[in-house]
Amino acid sequence: MTPELKTVHAAGIRFGVVDEGSGPCVLFVHGFPLDHGMWRPQIDALCDSHRVIVPDLRGFGATDTTEGTVTMERFADDLAELLDALGVREPVTLCGLSMGGYIAWQFWRRHAKRLAALVLCDTRAAPDSPEAARGRLDTAEKVLKQGRLPLVRAMIPKLFAKTTREKNASLIEDVRRMIGRASPAGIAAALRGMAGREDVRPFLRRIDVPTVVLVGREDEISPVEEMRAIADDLPHCEFVVIPNAGHMAPLENPPATNEALTALLRRLS
Ligand code: MLT
């Protein structure tokens, strides 16, 4: 079943959001430059036992775009306002992938009381190096002038494990289509926001909710050793390496990802 995307007004814009099921709330936050569709296998697995909330972030999918820069802090505040608009008062489990993880750190910094647990998939705690930040700003200009195609060409090969590239062409096509739904201005705004994001490594030891750090064994963007170092710093952390997966572990290997997620949710219940 394709989950229904509803329109919700929050933070002064219109959000496209999947809001399915009832029970303890799990909020999924997609990576760059994707949308709610990347969490389809997790929505299917959890919506019978949980309330699953899966927004398109500002500038992506069906959500409105704002031009300029969208910081990780702004994205995190958007999520808090969206939860208010949906009437969610109880603490949620927030599961973010990559840019969704950068946003998750800021959600903890700004809205810690709203968190029951955190799941950090294929993400980083370190900021961009000056060269990486400059590269992002250049890419933002290029996308505004030339459209999404150069970004799609540069990103697709880095997102997936070898097995996915060889055996799952339809999944890669789905992701290509997802990137095609993001607005160039939204892509540029998020790139500028990521370029200026905070170094959250000094705060990791203070995160006192249960955490799961999950990484695809073949992730080239946030490699296993870098994610293990994050897990080592988090006080209540389970570290999970997902086989046959790269940066898009939840899509590339849903059974292993869902097992780690449901184990956490069972521990919380
Ligand atoms: C993502 O998947 O969200 C991106 O790889 C994040 C990034 O570019 O740092």
Q: Is the CB of 98 under 6 A from ligand 1?
A: yes
Give the residues across from 15 on adjacent strands. 8
Asked if 128 contacts 152 with a C-beta cutoff of 8 angstroms, the reply is no
Q: Check: CATH 3.30.365.10 for 5-268?
A: no
Q: What is the pLDDT along the chain (269 residues), one digit of tens a residue?
A: 688 999 999 999 999 999 999 999 999 999 999 999 999 999 999 999 999 999 999 999 999 999 999 999 999 999 999 999 999 999 999 999 999 999 999 999 999 999 999 999 999 999 999 999 999 999 999 999 999 998 998 899 899 999 999 999 999 999 999 998 899 999 999 999 999 999 999 999 999 999 999 999 999 999 999 999 999 999 999 999 999 999 999 999 999 999 999 999 999 99
Task: Dihedral sign for Cα 168, 171, 177, 179, please.
Answer: negative
**Calpha distance 90→36 (Å, rounded):** 22
Residue 32 alpha carbon to ligand 1 centre in Å: 5
How far does the centroid of ligand 1 lie from the alpha carbon of residue 194, in Å?
A: 8
Q: Ligand 1 pocket, 156 CB below 6 A?
A: no
Nearest ligand 1 atom to the CA of 99 is: 3
DSSP H stretches of helix in the chain: 40-46, 72-85, 99-111, 130-146, 149-159, 162-167, 169-181, 184-195, 224-233, 249-252, 254-268
C-alpha–C-alpha distance, residues 230 and 125, integer Å: 7
Residue 261 in contact with ligand 1 by CB distance below 6 A? no
Atom of ligand 1 minimally distant from the CA of 100: 3
Q: Ligand 1 center to residue 62 CA distance, Å?
A: 20
| Lookup: tokens for 200 | 């959250």
| Structural Rg of the chain based on CA atoms | 17
Structure token digits, residue 228: 């293990």
Ligand 1 centre from 269 Cα, in Å? 31
The Cα-based distances of 243 to 93, 214, 264 in angstroms read 24, 11, 19
Expressed in angstroms and rounded, the spacing between residue 64 Cα and the centre of ligand 1 is 20
Contacts of 127 (CB under 8 A, 6+ apart): 133, 197, 198, 199
d(CA 214, CA 254): 12
**0.95 cut: is pTM over it?**
yes
- Evaluate the omega torsion of the peptide bond into residue 202 and state whether it is cis, within 30 degrees of 0: no
Give the span between the Cα atoms of 32 and 108, in whole angstroms. 20
Cα–chain center distance at 48: 22
Q: Determine whether the shortest distance from the Cβ of 99 to ligand 1 is under 6 A.
A: yes
